[in-house]
Amino acid sequence: MSAAWTISSVREAIAAKKTSAREIATEHYKRIAARNPEINAFLTLCEKRAYAQADRVDAMAAAGKPLPPLAGVPLAIKDTISTRGVRTTCSSKILDNYIPPYDATAVVRLEAAGAVILGKTNCDEFAMGSSTENSAYGPVKNPVAPDRVPGGSSGGSAAAVAADLAVAALGTDTGGSIRQPGALCGLPAMMGSYGRVSRYGLIAFASSLDRIGPLAHNVADVAKVLQIIAGRDPNDSTSTTAPVEDYAAGLAKPVKGMKIGIPKEYFGAGMDAGVREKVEAGIALLRKLGCELMDIHLPHTDYAIATYYIIATAEASSNLARYDGVRFGPRVEGDSLIATYRKTRGAGFGAEVKRRIVLGTYVLSAGYYDAYYLKGQKVRALIAQDFGEAFQKVDVIVTPTSPVPAFKLGERVNDPLQMYLADIYTVTGSLAGLPGISVPCGRIGGKLPVGLQVFGPAFGEARVLQLAHAFEQAGGASL
């Protein structure tokens, strides 16, 4: 069997009856059994559900019926996304025994398209982190370099695809949590515009920032998965009615003449020399493809990390108040209701989640709301305004995805500030609600992957995917 299946190769093999969806699922479960104990990408498997779906696909193939777009494709789902009847923990002890009674809309749409859901992937607890070391169930190792992190918070999803344990995966991105692990594991990884993909069934961290998106082996597969999960959902009032373009059909359009903005603020101090070299080589490749490069200025970039960690923690404080041991999750009894709350949350939440709840509660508290949260929202508007003005001059904006390659496990665990700074190039697009993709851009020393990030205007996913695909096809991953 193929070492690295793609969506097209899976569908073609099943349609030609060279193999079956059940056989492909079995092969992936064998790989998971062999590799997962080492990298810890999967937390929960759902073989019964996967094989039932595979058998439905095989029955369609046997009957000669047209196969749906993702027929038989084995996918992994981040453990912050609800799956009916399948344990969904957010990598937290406080949801250790939680089994959702419904599927997230994204999961419903994937299975309706024929996808085979293999299981749930490890992540930073409640998606709070940049290394997938904050999981209550142990860290994930980067398949490319097992002594290093896979990025976060969707590190399990990235590791599962990079290790060929799944053909594609869903992650979630609040401040870079799809794009950064994609970059560190050498994969294309994308978040759509805010509202492009329904958040129904996504367990909330920061509701005005959270987004669901795909990771895969190539840009075409990212486009195909995004196509399936995108679109209006009446269950999510923040999902957009903006039409979904045919992303796959637009990939081959020429990029010659496309205007690309290069913001100087993303190339300052703090960037690893190896990352800088590869990203500059990537930008040179775009010039060779006929793109027009333009220097642009995004003046409020310096305030992005502070703004993000005010808004995101404030929303986390509010969203995580529901975990009190009363309605669901483990309960630790105390002498009073307040003591029960304290003991339950003290035992259930990890250190990083507690840190963010405390920060968020502080910035929302009386006397500080105007000074921090309200001011943060005003700066967020200025960051969005910077991008809006830039997109009046350019078609897309290109930056590094991460300032550093994958760092060693344990290297930043005790330094929250350095961990937060890993998101310095990704949080801006998150705050502005824009679509963004990270696409592989060479490897430092032939080993550690580097990501090139492409931002587009709101609901400009097709344009972002078009440039990323052209870059990939021109050999960007081999720079």
Separation of alpha carbons 212 and 463, rounded Å: 19
Q: Quick check: 362 pLDDT over 90?
A: yes
Q: Quick check: 277 pLDDT over 70?
A: yes
Domain assignment present for residue 328? The answer is no
Q: What is the dihedral of CA 284, 183, 425, 137, to 10 degrees?
A: -170
Q: Quick check: 1 pLDDT over 60?
A: no
Q: Quick check: 443 pLDDT over 90?
A: yes
Q: What is the pTM of this model?
A: 0.97
**177 has catalytic annotation:** yes
pLDDT band at residue 300 under the 50/70/90 scheme: very high
What percentage of the chain reaches a pLDDT higher than 90? 95
Domain assignment present for residue 176? The answer is yes
Q: What is the pLDDT of residue 269?
A: 86
Domain assignment present for residue 322? The answer is no
Q: What is the pLDDT of residue 309?
A: 96
State pLDDT tens for residues 18-75: 999 999 999 999 999 999 999 999 999 999 999 999 999 999 999 999 999 999 999 9
User: Largest Cα–Cα distance in the chain?
Assistant: 70
Domain assignment present for residue 313? The answer is no
- Catalytic option among 91, 130, 157, 177: 177
pLDDT band at residue 466 under the 50/70/90 scheme: very high
Q: What is the pLDDT of residue 4?
A: 85
Q: Calculate mean pLDDT across residues 235-259.
A: 97
Q: What is the CATH number of the domain that holds 92?
A: 3.90.1300.10
- Residue 171 phi, psi (nearest 5): -125, -175
Q: What is the pLDDT of residue 3?
A: 63
**153 has catalytic annotation:** yes
Q: Calculate mean pLDDT across residues 380-393.
A: 98
Domain assignment present for residue 357? The answer is no
Enclosing domain of residue 115: 7-229
Domain assignment present for residue 323? The answer is no
- Catalytic option among 131, 153, 157, 317: 153
Q: Quick check: 214 pLDDT over 90?
A: yes
- Catalytic option among 20, 78, 157, 430: 78
Domain assignment present for residue 186? The answer is yes
State pLDDT tens for residues 176-209: 999 999 999 999 999 999 999 999 999 999 999 9
- Residue 468 phi, psi (nearest 5): -60, -40
Domain assignment present for residue 448? The answer is no
State pLDDT tens for residues 83-107: 999 999 999 999 999 999 999 999 9
How many domains does the chain divide into? 1
